[in-house]
Amino acid sequence: MNKEINNWVVQAKYDLDTARSMLESGRFLYVLFCCQQAIEKIIKALIAKSTSELPPRIHNLVRLLEAANLQVDEERTRFLRELSTFYFQTRYPEEISSISKQVDAGLAKSVCKQTEEVFEWLESMLQ
């Protein structure tokens, strides 16, 4: 299972790096999507570590935290609930157009910063 956990972590870090690159290039919608993916994958690494099983094939970050038996304060829960929506909203063309109009540099930068903080906290639990 250590190899499986490592694979999740490697992919999570890749997604976080991609979010940063998308921020620099001005592709703000994809910052949000990659941030969601980074957090999803680091939580799945924690699930794999704590259960020695493959994580569930779901994308809701709050539900994944529950599967990992992690207690999270209300502020982080609210952020993760919002971040979860970007997985779905960036997958369908009709929604991409609508949400793209709502996403600007300020929002993307804020989400990326919060993601980095939550990511660091979650990753520390893998040590």
At 21-32, the pLDDT tens digits run: 999 999 999 999
Q: Domains of the chain: which residue ranges?
A: 2-124
Average of per-residue pLDDT values in the chain? 93
If pLDDT is split at 50, 70 and 90, which confidence band does 1 have?
Answer: low
Tokens 């893998």 belong to 126
Q: Using the 8-state DSSP alphabet, how is residue 92 labeled?
A: S
- In this prediction the pTM is 0.93
**Mean pLDDT of the region 45-54:** 95
Rounded CA gap, 59 and 57, in Å? 7
Q: Residue 90: is its pLDDT beyond 60?
A: no
- Number of residues written out for the chain: 127
If pLDDT is split at 50, 70 and 90, which confidence band does 91 have?
Answer: low
CATH number given to 2-124 = 1.20.120.330
Report yes or no: 42 and 19 within 8 Å, Cβ to Cβ. no
The whole-number pLDDT of residue 95 equals: 73
The whole-number pLDDT of residue 123 equals: 97
